């Protein structure tokens, strides 16, 4: 019996030792678990803090809104394009039948230009992307006298042009020929002959307006172009002459309106679109000017020159240098060539300059 009691006591002692060992292991495991939990929380907190302080490349921003006419009507099938401040296209979309648009972008936080365009209607808005949802409404500026542009170019001759005598037409044809050879005096003689045969010849006044521009007389060009439009309101060349003259006088809004009038009559008139781009450039709307030049997409010396100037203002000097070089290649004897060469030389020197050593 004593032996049984001793055996029971030893068993109880063993159980107590096992319990203490088990409890100790549990305490150790608990301490490890708590340690891991604390480390995990610290890691998550550090990750959250780093994410909050740095831009998230996967963050998406919804840009949505409405495109309207100046009268408040929604514009369906309008192009909506997002560009950064250097004029580089990020993405684009089209408005629905209600004039609404939705763009989902992963662009970084910052400022951008949102462009809306349809036919001759165009508008832009500088926006800031600093939240996940950005609502924008753009209303096209009002341009009086602009009709909708047909989907296909229409080549129409006005009644005023049809009544021009055949001999007067022949003199105008010779005037164009002399003008193309830069023989301005000969071109003016032919225009004068045409006006003697028909004093109400709008085309002759339009041609003379272009001669005035070539002679650096924008005031005279405006006078002749206005006279031409009084005789024939569909004289597209007169509107382009007006736009060119206004741009040279830094009256950019007038230039934009006149060029759009020309485009409403001749949608493929690339010189008119170039004057629109020059007007936007003069107004400091460089991204919008680049958009117009992209739409123009014409391989002509003056197009390259304007594009070069725009790219310079958008801090894209290497691309600007390429456009300046192309201008010189196409028009080596142009009066502006020497100035362009100086610009290119200055750009090259800045690009290859070695910074001085400062210990």
pLDDT number for residue 182: 87
Judge contact between 281 and 289, C-beta under 8 A: yes
Averaged pLDDT score across all residues of the chain: 83
Q: In terms of domains, do 134 and 69 share one? A: yes
168 and 277 fall within a common domain: yes
Distances from the Cα of 43 to the Cαs of 47, 52, 158, in angstroms? Answer: 6, 14, 78
Co-location of 69 and 169 in the same domain = no
Specify the pLDDT at position 51: 38
Whether 218 and 122 share a structural domain: no
Same-domain pairing of 103 and 69: yes
Q: Among 31-40, 264-273, 327-336, which is the least confidently predicted range?
A: 31-40
Same structural domain, 258 and 229: yes
Q: Is residue 55 part of a domain?
A: no
Is the pLDDT higher at 357 or at 59?
59
Structural domain contains residue 31:
no
Domain end, chosen from 139, 172, 205, is at: 139
* Tally of structural domains, the chain: 3
Q: Are residues 322 and 217 in the same domain?
A: no
The answer to whether position 223 is within a domain reads yes
Inform me whether the pLDDT recorded for 238 exceeds 50.
yes
CATH at 127: 2.60.40.1120
> For 62-81, how does the pLDDT look when each residue is reduced to its tens digit (9 = 90+)?
999 999 998 999 999 999 99
Q: Is 227 part of a structural domain of the chain? A: yes
Indicate whether 147 belongs to any domain.
Answer: no
Q: Output the pLDDT for position 58.
A: 57
Considering the domain architecture, whether residues 192 and 245 belong to the same structural domain is answered as: yes
For the segment 109-119, the average pLDDT, to the nearest whole number, is 95
Last residue of a domain, one of 111, 139, 167: 139
Domain contains 21? no
Minimum mean pLDDT range among 9-13, 191-195, 240-244: 9-13
**Interval 177-215: pLDDT, tens:** 999 888 999 999 999 999 999 999 999 999 999 999 999
Residue 353 located in a structural domain: no
Task: Specify the higher pLDDT residue, 5 or 105.
Answer: 105
Reply yes or no on whether the pLDDT at 22 is more than 70.
no
251 and 167 in a common domain: yes
In a domain, 148, yes or no: no
* Confidence grade of residue 7 (pLDDT, cut at 50, 70, 90): low
pLDDT tens for each residue of 74-103: 999 999 999 999 999 999 999 999 999 999
pLDDT at 59: 78
HSE value, Cβ hemisphere, 13 Å, CA-based, for 116 = 29
Residue 194 and residue 235 in one domain: yes
Same domain, 220 and 304: no
Highest mean pLDDT among 1-15, 19-33, 163-177, 345-359: 163-177
What would the pLDDT profile of 285-322 be if each residue is shown by its tens digit?
999 999 999 999 899 999 999 999 999 999 999 999 99
Q: Is the pTM of this model over 0.75?
A: yes
- 309 and 218 share one domain: no
Boundaries of domain holding 307: 299-332+339-344
């Amino acid at each position: 019996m004593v032996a049984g009691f001793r055996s029971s006591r030893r068993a109880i002692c063993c159980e107590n030792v096992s319990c203490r060992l088990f409890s100790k292991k549990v305490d150790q495991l608990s301490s490890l678990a708590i340690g891991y939990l604390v480390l995990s929380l610290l890691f998550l907190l550090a990750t959250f803090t780093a994410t909050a302080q740095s831009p998230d490349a996967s963050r998406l921003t919804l840009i949505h809104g409405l495109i309207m006419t100046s009268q408040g009507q929604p514009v369906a099938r309008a192009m909506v394009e997002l560009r950064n401040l250097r004029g580089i296209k990020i993405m684009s979309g089209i408005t629905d039948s209600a004039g609404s648009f939705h763009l989902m972008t992963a662009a970084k936080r910052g400022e951008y230009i949102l462009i809306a365009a349809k036919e001759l209607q165009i508008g832009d808005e500088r926006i800031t992307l600093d939240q996940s949802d950005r609502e924008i409404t753009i209303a096209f500026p009002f341009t009086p006298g602009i009709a909708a542009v047909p989907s296909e170019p229409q080549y129409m001759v006005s009644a005023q042009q049809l009544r021009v005598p055949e001999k007067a037409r022949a003199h105008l044809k010779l005037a164009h020929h002399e003008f193309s050879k830069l023989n301005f005096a000969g071109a003016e003689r032919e225009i004068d002959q045409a006006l003697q045969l028909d004093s109400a010849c709008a085309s002759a006044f339009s041609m003379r307006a272009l001669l005035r521009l070539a002679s650096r007389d924008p005031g005279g060009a405006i006078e002749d172009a206005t006279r031409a439009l009084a005789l024939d309101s569909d004289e597209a060349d007169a509107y382009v002459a007006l736009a060119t003259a206004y741009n040279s006088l830094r009256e950019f809004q007038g230039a934009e309106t006149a060029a759009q009038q020309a485009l409403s009559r001749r949608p493929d008139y690339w010189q008119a679109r170039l004057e629109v781009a020059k007007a936007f450039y003069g107004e400091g709307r460089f991204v919008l000017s680049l958009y117009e030049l992209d739409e123009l997409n014409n391989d002509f010396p003056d197009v390259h020159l304007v594009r070069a100037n725009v790219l310079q203002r958008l801090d894209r000097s290497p691309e600007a240098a390429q456009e300046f070089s192309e201008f010189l290649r196409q028009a080596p004897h142009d009066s502006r060539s020497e100035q362009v060469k100086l610009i290119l030389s200055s750009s090259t020197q800045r690009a290859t300059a070695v910074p001085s050593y400062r210990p």
